[in-house]
């Protein structure tokens, strides 16, 4: 089966100790079963440290987080001791994979970089040329032919083309994308959506402050950088637009975009993207609740 990715995908490498919001702090970190077995077999003092800092379970295990939810193997220079002692191939699957995400279709797998990583956000938002989705390899799975899926990818191409039409302002491009489905671009009530987000589980106190700031000033944001806005929109479409509910997932992607732009008034676009992604995209529960509101309110 073919694997596709945005054309910036290969530009990523982790900036490790230069990262201000390390993914090794503040998140539960699972250890996959194969890696857990490997860690059990490591001899000497480092092997002992591994076994003392992992809660093993039938599913593999998870690292026992330290103060401030730091991974126990993140040293005081914010470098990974497992990487230093055992090499990159010894990392558990989630550590090796982050910030990559995958979407599985019948005929292909797609892989992207998640905005919750500040280096991924920098690469995506600073990209000047139009983003293309390109084939980057193959895996061992056989494709499952589906005519419906061909229609979906053709439709997504039309959505990308509308959003990447640099002859038009961003709001017009979004209207054109909705017009593909015979729909009108819904109004975004920023204060209401900030209140909805405040009712969800939150990770970071600074996100709470941003939401409170939006409630105080719910006026629509000014789009300051149309190029970064285009990249942001295309990122959300690539990640969330789906064949099962295309109109709703388009509305969700556009909401992600507008709320990130609104949050950017307070913290800048890169940080707003990182916060939105960490708080909403990386929580299936939060994402589902927002999709449910879009669906129930029949905004389209
Ligand atoms: S958030 Fe990104 S850049 Fe920072 S440590 Fe994690 S993978 Fe590396």
Distance of CA 230 to the CA centre of its chain: 16
Tokens of 183: 């729909």
* Secondary structure (H, E, C), 42-86: CCHHHHHHHHHCEEEECCEEEECCCHHHECCCECCCCCEHHHHHH
CA of 17 to the centre of ligand 1 (A): 9
Rounded to an integer, what distance in angstroms lies between the CA atom of residue 291 and that of residue 71?
32
pTM of the model as a whole: 0.92
pLDDT in tens, 138-147: 988 788 878 8
CA of 116 to the centre of ligand 1 (A): 9
Coil, strand or helix at 5: strand
CA of 19 to the centre of ligand 1 (A): 6
pLDDT in tens, 128-182: 999 999 999 998 878 887 888 899 999 999 999 999 999 999 999 999 999 999 9
Ligand 1, residue 23: give the atom nearest the CA.
Answer: 6
Hunting for tokens 């990583």 — which residue is that? 117
Contact 221, 270 (CB under 8 A): no
114 within ligand 1 shell (Cβ under 6 A): no
Contact 152, 27 (CB under 8 A): no
The rounded percent of the chain whose pLDDT value lies above 90 is: 89
* Phi and psi torsions of 115, nearest 5°: -70, -10
CA of 109 to the centre of ligand 1 (A): 23
What's the helix, strand, coil split of the chain in %, to 5? 55, 10, 35
CA of 132 to the centre of ligand 1 (A): 24
pLDDT of residue 298: 61
Contact 80, 91 (CB under 8 A): yes
CB atoms within 10 A of CB 99: 19
pLDDT of residue 36: 96
Which of 11, 15, 27, 271 has the most ligand 1 atoms within 8 A of CB, as the residue to mutate? 15
Ligand 1, residue 14: give the atom nearest the CA.
Answer: 8
pLDDT in tens, 50-80: 999 999 999 999 999 999 899 999 999 999 9
CA of 188 to the centre of ligand 1 (A): 32
Instruction: Give the pairing of strands 54-57 and 60-63.
Output: antiparallel
* For ligand 1, atom 7: residue with the closest CA: 14
Contact 85, 77 (CB under 8 A): no
Tokens of 41: 């077999």
98 within ligand 1 shell (Cβ under 6 A): yes
Closest CA to 285 of 189, 203, 179: 203
117 within ligand 1 shell (Cβ under 6 A): yes
Rounded to an integer, what distance in angstroms lies between the CA atom of residue 166 and that of residue 170?
8
Hunting for tokens 């083309």 — which residue is that? 161
Calculate the average pLDDT of the chain: 94
CA of 22 to the centre of ligand 1 (A): 5
Closest CA to 151 of 110, 107, 103: 107
| pLDDT > 60? residue 224 | yes
pLDDT of residue 140: 81
Find out whether the peptide bond into 99 is cis, omega within 30 degrees of 0.
yes
Rounded to an integer, what distance in angstroms lies between the CA atom of residue 275 and that of residue 262?
12
């Amino acid at each position: 089966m073919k694997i596709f990715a945005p054309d910036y995908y290969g530009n990523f490498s982790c900036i490790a100790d230069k990262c201000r919001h390390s993914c090794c702090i503040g998140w539960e970190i699972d250890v996959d079963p194969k890696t857990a077995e490997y860690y059990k077999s490591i001899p000497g003092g480092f092997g002992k440290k591994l076994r003392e800092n992992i809660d093993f379970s039938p599913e593999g295990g998870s690292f026992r987080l330290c103060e401030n939810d730091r991974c126990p193997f993140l040293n005081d220079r914010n470098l990974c001791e497992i990487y230093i002692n055992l090499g990159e191939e010894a990392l558990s699957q989630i550590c090796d994979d982050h910030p990559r995400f995958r979407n599985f279709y019948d005929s292909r797998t797609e892989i992207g970089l998640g905005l919750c990583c500040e280096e991924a956000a920098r690469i995506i938002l600073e990209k000047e040329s139009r983003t293309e989705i390109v084939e980057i390899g193959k895996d061992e799975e056989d494709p499952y032919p589906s005519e419906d899926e061909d229609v979906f990818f053709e439709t997504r191409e039309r959505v990308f083309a509308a959003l990447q039409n640099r002859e038009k302002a961003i709001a017009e491009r979004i209207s054109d994308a909705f017009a593909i489905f015979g729909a009108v671009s819904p109004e975004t009530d920023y204060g209401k959506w900030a209140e909805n987000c405040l009712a969800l589980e939150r990770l970071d106190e600074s996100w709470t402050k941003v939401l409170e700031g939006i409630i105080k000033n719910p006026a629509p944001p000014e789009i300051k950088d149309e190029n970064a806005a285009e990249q942001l929109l295309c990122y959300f479409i690539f990640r969330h637009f789906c064949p099962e509910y295309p109109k709703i997932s388009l509305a969700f992607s556009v909401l992600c975009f507008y709320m990130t732009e609104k949050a950017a008034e307070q913290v800048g676009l890169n940080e707003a993207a990182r916060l939105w992604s960490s708080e909403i995209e990386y929580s299936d529960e939060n994402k589902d609740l927002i999709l449910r509101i879009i669906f129930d309110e029949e905004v389209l």
